[in-house]
Amino acid sequence: MGKILVIQTAFIGDAVLTLPMIQKLKEFFPGSQVDVLAIPLTAEIFKASPDVGSVIVMDKKGEHKSFFSLIKLSKQIHDKEYERIYSPHRSFRSAFIVLQSGVRDTFGFSNSSLKHVYKNIIEYRLDHHEVQRNLDLIDFKYSGENWRILPKVLIAQDIKEKIKCLLIDNGIKESFAVVAPGSAWNTKKYPIEYYESVVSFLRSKCSVILLGGAGDKEICSRLSEKFGNVITFAGLLNLVESIELLKRAEILISNDSAPTHLGMCADIPVLTIYCSTVDDFGFYPYNSKSRYLSYDDLACKPCGIHGFDKCPISTFACGYELKPESVISKIEEMLSYEG
């Protein structure tokens, strides 16, 4: 069997949830090389997968922003002579690349842009988890719970040593919890004053580390300064380093955002807090150790599939009605803490 290309140029969570599909593809076609077309932000995730051959980087905001550069990239992919293309990503760019690829067996979703570009069109099931939808794309016949395939990444020894030393240098010698209070969307962020209550509780049980990307530095710094002895690693770790940190954690508390999916890679207990979004969108943590919380008794929820910079009706009831006592109770239940 020849080479296969997977097109996934979406963001971190989508990239992580594509890994189970790639793992199964490699099982289906053990002699094939499975390559991935990804954005710079997620390339390291795919490079760390033991089932990915090579990663082609498409910089949609830089090198490949223009239509001319997209044509040039499409030609490069055409010249690689792939035998199959699977595209979980549903954008015009992805469809255009498929159209120009010269590949005969192509697979895309029914809600993809230019869907008729694909030879095989697979129904996009809104009632399925994203992992199930991606498995549908490769015709994996799951039943019951066997779709709950954990994403696999390989952690290099130097990264393991870096995280070990980082923890020691910060005086963390025993168990710790990780809190990821940020998100690219403000209406996905559980109120910071509620996170203060959650962090205060966790500090009575173990050490606490705050985690996030460069854009989360401000919110993490506010929490860190509030308590003094709460450490923030926001913006200091790449994705694979973050997964290694999470592998050592007792629990992760996260919004409906990228850290939830990194916690899945680490296979630890993850508690995901939903504000403006809902679990029905299909991006909830699905390992047996994880749970999620959401206040759904609202006519306005969900207000959008991603989120907004501010609440459209200025109440942010989806966040404020989910009291920190409920979050703390769920943490106690997950970790068998005594109240």
pLDDT digit string (tens) for 87-126? 999 999 999 999 999 999 999 999 999 999 999 999 999 9
What is the per-residue pLDDT for 339? 45
Task: State whether 68 and 169 are in the same domain.
Answer: no
- 47 burial type by CB count under 10 A (0-12 exposed, 13-18 middle, 19+ buried): middle
pTM: 0.94
| Structural domains counted in the chain | 2
Mean pLDDT of the chain: 96
The answer on pLDDT for 228 being more than 90 is no
What is the per-residue pLDDT for 1? 62
Task: State whether 214 and 282 are in the same domain.
Answer: yes
Residue 270, domain member (yes or no): yes
What is the per-residue pLDDT for 52? 98
Residue 149, domain member (yes or no): no
What is the per-residue pLDDT for 336? 84
Residue 145, domain member (yes or no): no
CATH code: domain of residue 84: 3.40.50.2000
Task: State whether 73 and 181 are in the same domain.
Answer: no
Residue 74, domain member (yes or no): yes
Question: Of 137, 168, 187, which residue constitutes the final position of a domain?
Answer: 137
What range does the domain containing 37 cover? 3-137
Question: Of 109, 137, 165, which residue constitutes the final position of a domain?
Answer: 137
Confidence of residue 177 (pLDDT cuts 50, 70, 90): very high
Question: Of 83, 109, 137, which residue constitutes the final position of a domain?
Answer: 137
pLDDT tens-digit profile of 79-89? 999 999 999 99
Task: State whether 224 and 298 are in the same domain.
Answer: yes
**What's the average model confidence in pLDDT over 181-204?**
97
**Contact at 8 Å (CB) between 254 and 182?**
no
Task: State whether 197 and 327 are in the same domain.
Answer: yes
Torsion over CA: 183, 184, 185, 186 (sign): positive
Residue 151, domain member (yes or no): no
Confidence of residue 229 (pLDDT cuts 50, 70, 90): confident
Task: State whether 11 and 121 are in the same domain.
Answer: yes
Eight-class DSSP state of 301: -
pLDDT tens-digit profile of 125-137? 999 999 999 999 9
**Contact at 8 Å (CB) between 196 and 137?**
no
pLDDT tens-digit profile of 142-154? 999 999 999 999 9
Residues in Cβ contact with 329 at an 8 Å cutoff, skipping those fewer than 6 apart: none
DSSP-H helix ranges across the chain: 12-16, 19-28, 43-47, 67-79, 92-101, 130-137, 157-169, 192-203, 217-227, 239-247, 258-266, 317-320, 324-335
Task: State whether 224 and 303 are in the same domain.
Answer: yes
Task: State whether 186 and 219 are in the same domain.
Answer: yes
Task: Please report where in the chains the tokens 């609202």 appear, as a residue.
Answer: 298
Task: State whether 116 and 182 are in the same domain.
Answer: no
Residue 181, domain member (yes or no): yes
Task: State whether 128 and 8 are in the same domain.
Answer: yes
Residue 144, domain member (yes or no): no
Task: State whether 113 and 197 are in the same domain.
Answer: no
Residue 148, domain member (yes or no): no
Task: State whether 168 and 125 are in the same domain.
Answer: no
